[in-house]
Chains A and B, each alone.
Chain A
Amino acid sequence: MTLSLSRRLIVLAVAVLLLGGLAAALVLRAASRDDKPSAGGPTVAPGTVTLTRPGTLTFLNGGQGPHRGALASVPADAPDSERTASELNCRRFYAASGTGVCLRSTPGALAQDNKALIVDSELRTLRSFPLAGTPSRARVSPSGRFAAWTVFVSGESYGAAFFSTRTAIVDTRTGKLEANLEEFTITMDGREHRAQDVNFWGVTFSKDDDTFYATLSTGGETHLVKGSISGRSVTTLAKNVECPSLSPDETRIAYKKRVRAGASLWREHVMDLGTLREHALAEKRSVDDQAAWLDDRTLAYGLPTDGAADSTDLWTVPADGSGTPRLLAPGASSPVRLG
């Protein structure tokens, strides 16, 4: 390569123009998606969503278009009908008894700005908590009093991916925050367990507003734990249980079970809390979500949309292991059946 300086500068200028043009086109294409809904996708209309209307299914609208990420609602018995989209935008959402928790992530100047919002039934923000990382799981207790969330904390930049979870529980009435469940006393196999590699995620609440279940990870294993908010303690119950979800009648939990050690493959299971007996569900695909109970017999969960990188669809499957998975809503996540 013995190009003269001026030749090289010309080549550089051409490269800058070409690559810059391509980059600008990519950004513009992505930006224009915000304005027009994708063809053939579900229809969405702006409107009012309230968290106290029984027989409603809410979820985060995931389809491309102007209402991407908005909390939307459809009648539970007609999930294919037109979606009503609210102004509330979240990454994860859950609600019960007129209280919602919305994990929001907006691009800041230097880093993502992540917040947990507690909203009332009209979606007005009651409280707001900063988050240390990327939103992952959210739940509200059946009474609406407690909310919990899990975020992934990535420790640094410079290409080193380092992840740890942080799970918090907040009393939505008093605002009292348990910022890190790792401070709770852990009883494992009858003995107090102290370790620094403890991570919690995926809280699910009981009706009594004290008992909760969650996943505890330590020593390379995951455990189902049963905890007490007032006692600030948890006890291990079973192994290889992630993202538990307590059934409305509180007799069973649905959870994802790692199929093979080390692999990122999970099968959705249901465990009877009385006998600790478990059975696999009819869903054969790998589920990486905290499933939600639509009623005592049916579960809903998200699966990546075929062929689309950043979209999930909602599916349902019977909780007793029978039947087959059924598409509930394309381009959606964080399902909640308002009771």
Chain B
Amino acid sequence: MYLADRSAPAGAEPAPDRGPVRAAAVAPTVLALGTVSLITDISSEMVTAVLPLYLIAGLGLSPLGFGALDGVYNGVSALVQLTGGHLADRVRNHKLIAGIGYGLSALCKPLLLFAHSLGPISVILTLERTGKGLRTAPRDALISLSTPPELQGRAFGVHRAMDTTGALLGPLAAFLILSVAVDGYDAVFGVSACVAALGVVVLMLFVPSGDGDTRPRPRPRPPVPRTAEADSVDAAAEPAAVAAAAAVPAADRPAPVRLRDALGLLRLPRLRNLAICAVLLGLTTVSDAFVYLLLQRRTGIGDQWFPLLPLGTAAVFLVLAVPAGALADRIGRRTVFLTGHALLLAGYALLLWAPDQPALPYLVLALHGMFYAATDGVLPAAVAATVPAELRATGLALVGTGQALARFGCSLAFGAAWTLWGAGPALAAAAAGLLCCAAVAGFVLRPAAPDVPLPDPNRTGSP
């Protein structure tokens, strides 16, 4: 692979001689994947931005009940993510599975033109999200496999910032088209399909396959023995990552990845701890929609500003994703991840108790965006450091799925609590839960747990 060979030295150079805080270039693979995500997010957010208008004003449909279905889609998407991650490791071709995911989503865009009722539209959106679910874990695995361990946080930060840029540009493009062509929904869907296709082209041209070929292979090495899997993989996790960084392949001809290996991952204490924490914190993370509704109720923001609230979060996320990722590499991913949740907790506290001041909405949105910046890319960076390279996508998918399902559960529970107790008590309960879960997470993720005779994942990044 041509690009792989070129990118490997920059991406896989070991750090020790230069110190932990050097500013090396971001791996070309990360930039390529960031570009693919940017383009794809423009495409999908174009559709998202006009979909309510198209359904209600264009087709004259009542989209109530859509919200209930949405939970199902997200559940499906989460489970598909697990499949996508494991499949990518099995076929040893992350790019292929990610490409299928991106391609499936791209194919769905023009189909929207032919769907005139809620049923077909739901089916298409489900397929679209299946594509999203498929590609997430292989893409994150590609990012982590192309980046040295001590720069993972920043790499994910760069990717998330580019991704969010696309999400912000999408509505802009959609409304630009609608202002040129009155009711040009067909044009929006068509352009969205073209943009999505371009994303797939960029993926195919500029992203190397993630079958371990991002590392040069100077000399063959005897395969890692795969007996006593659960324990040896555990112990091999960090060395594997270091080996990758040191441009030495973990195994010359690796044994096939089996489902048992995937389940065995959960026996890795550090990955298991991260998964537990992601689930616990996900269970107490109130979904964005509720945050914006609460914010409007609390502050009486004018109705005309309501649709712009998510943009506030996204803008803060966009600006801070890279610094937060780099900070996580330097002072520890655990610290930044937990700080992110503390910021979210502060946001909840403001929503609950702060006096109604003009600055309140800005503060809450800033905290909400900072929460995403400090957690969204930092979690996969932390997960990647605990999973051997050949099971990277599976490991990322395990934690991602756990988190997504937990957040889905939280939405249901929060909705029920809102109904039973009202908005304030429901949020107070969520905040109390978040505080407890964050405390547990802080304990579980404490550095150098005595039963793990391994270096701390953040050690490589600390001075």
Contacts and interface: CB of A to CB of B under 8 A. Distances in A.
Interface of A: 1-5, 8, 11-12, 15-16, 19-20, 22-23, 26-27, 29-31, 33-34, 68-69, 91-92, 105-114, 130-136, 152-166, 179, 195-197, 199, 201, 217, 242, 262, 264, 288-289, 302, 304, 309-310, 312, 333
A201 B288 CA distance: 24
Given A19-B197, A199-B64, A163 B52 contact: yes
B295 to A, nearest CB: 11
A159 B132 contact: yes
A208 to B, nearest CB: 28
Contact of B191 (A8, A27, A289): A27
Given A19-B201, A131-B304, A309-B185, 7 more contacts: A31-B187, A34-B182, A135-B56, A156-B289, A195-B419, A264-B61, A264-B65
Interface in B167-197: 167, 171-172, 175-187, 190-191, 194-195, 197
A112 B60 contact: no
A44 to B, nearest CB: 14
B181 A31 contact: yes
A302 B60 contact: yes
Nearest to B197: A19
B181 A163 contact: no
A152 B52 contact: yes
A166 B132 CA distance: 31
Interface in B68-87: 69-70, 74
Contacts of A29: 187
B67 A164 contact: yes
A131 B423 CA distance: 22
B304 A333 contact: no
Interface string B301-312: 011101111110
A134 B191 CA distance: 23
Interface of B: 1-3, 44-45, 48-49, 51-54, 56-67, 69-70, 74, 113-114, 116-119, 125, 129, 132, 167, 171-172, 175-187, 190-191, 194-195, 197-198, 201-202, 204-206, 287-290, 292-293, 296, 302-304, 306-311, 314, 415, 418-420, 422-423
A110 B184 contact: no
Given A161-B63, A309-B113, A22 B201 contact: no
Contact of A130 (B184, B304, B420): B304
A197 B419 contact: yes
B426 to A, nearest CB: 8
B330 to A, nearest CB: 29
Dominant secondary structure at the A interface: mixed
A288 B65 CA distance: 14
Nearest to B182: A34
A262 B116 CA distance: 18
Nearest to A305: B116
Nearest to B119: A264
Which has the most chain A C-beta neighbours within 10 Å: B57, B119, B191? B57
B49 A160 contact: no
A161 B49 contact: no
Nearest to B58: A310
A306 B307 CA distance: 32
B57 A108 contact: no
Contacts of A309: 58-59, 113-114, 116, 185-186
Contact of B308 (A110, A196, A304): A110
B52 A157 contact: no
Given A110-B172, A112-B307, A304-B116, A161 B44 contact: no
A202 to B, nearest CB: 9
A159 B288 contact: no
A228 to B, nearest CB: 24
A288 B182 contact: no
A92 to B, nearest CB: 8
B44 A152 contact: no
A8 B53 CA distance: 39
Contacts of A195: 419
Contacts of A4: 2
Contact of A165 (B64, B182, B190, B306): B64
B184 A27 contact: yes
B67 to A, nearest CB: 5
A27 B187 contact: yes
Given A68-B183, A134-B56, A23 B194 contact: yes
Given A3-B205, A23-B194, A288-B62, A196 B52 contact: no
A163 B116 contact: no
14 contacts: A26-B186, A27-B177, A114-B304, A130-B304, A132-B303, A156-B310, A158-B167, A158-B288, A158-B310, A161-B67, A161-B69, A163-B63, A242-B62, A309-B59
B61 A19 contact: no
Contact of A304 (B3, B59, B132, B289): B59
B181 A34 contact: yes
B192 to A, nearest CB: 9
B52 A133 contact: yes
B292 A155 contact: yes
A105 B205 contact: no
B117 A264 contact: yes
Nearest to B304: A130
B303 A131 contact: yes
Contacts of A153: 306
Given A130-B304, A197-B415, A309-B59, A162 B70 contact: yes
A155 B52 CA distance: 11
A110 B2 CA distance: 41
Contact of B49 (A23, A131, A157): A157
Counting chain B CB atoms within 10 Å of each CB, the highest count among A132, A164, A179, A302 belongs to A132
A160 B311 contact: no
Nearest to B303: A132
A137 to B, nearest CB: 9
Contact of A26 (B132, B191, B206): B191
B303 A130 contact: yes
A211 B204 CA distance: 63
A31 B296 CA distance: 36
B180 A310 contact: no
Contacts of A114: 304
Nearest to A165: B64
B422 A152 contact: no
